[in-house]
Amino acid sequence: MRFPTKFFLTGLLVCLLAQTGAAAETGSVIKADVIKAEPFRDAKTVGPLAAGDKVTIVKRDGGWLMISGPKKGWVRMLSIRRGAGPAPGTKASDVVALASGRAGTGKVVSSTGVRGLNEEDLKNAKFNEKELKLAESFTVKKNDAEQFAAKARLKARRVAYLSE
């Protein structure tokens, strides 16, 4: 039985596209930072990262990127430029101005949006009684909240639930 060429080429194309998507992305360091062992600000520092260092981006977790080279670890995503770095002699402010549309204003703005918990975070979540008690300690009595609102001249508003 002869294998149709069309199916062979389609299969080959799918395999090539899958490998391309799985390939790690490269990047360069925009500003000096430190590499962390975990994607947390207070995690153990693995080593320094100098502006201009080339890195391989392995994966992303919230506002953090796992990188490899010069050392493997986590770095804040705002410290890394994805893809090839700027041309030699190019100031970072020039490149950021192009991207932000604020060329010449001196008011460079950058922001990162991170949305809560992802599916993996929810699967790995574990009950923590200590944290629950801490959260419960922040509750206030209705009367105290009303007095606070009155002092700040806040007004109560009713908000309808969204229909499902």
Please tell me whether residue 125 adopts helix, strand or coil conformation: coil
Angle made by CA atoms 145, 133, 138, in degrees to the nearest 5: 20
CB-neighbour burial class of residue 16 (10 A; exposed 0-12, middle 13-18, buried 19+): exposed
The one-letter amino acid code at 31 reads K
What pLDDT sits at residue 100? 45
Domains (ranges, CATH) in the chain?
A: 25-120 (2.30.30.40)
CA atoms within a 13 Å half-sphere pointing along the CA-CB vector of 121: 7
pLDDT attached to residue 114 = 63
Tell how far CA 19 is from the center of its chain.
23
Binning pLDDT at 50, 70 and 90, where does residue 129 land?
A: very high
pLDDT of 2 over the 60 cut: no
3-state secondary structure of 30: coil
95-124 pLDDT per residue, tens = 554 444 444 455 556 666 666 777 777 888
Encoded tokens for 138: 């922040």
The reported pLDDT for the residue numbered 119 is 77
- CA 26 to mean position of chain CA atoms: 16
Helices (H) and strands (E) in the chain, counts: 5, 7
pTM: 0.46
Task: Dump pLDDT digits (tens) for 63-96.
Answer: 899 998 888 999 998 899 988 655 445 555 555 5
Question: What are the Cα distances from residue 150, in Å, to 73, 139, 154?
Answer: 49, 18, 6
User: Mean of the pLDDT values across residues 14-42?
Assistant: 77
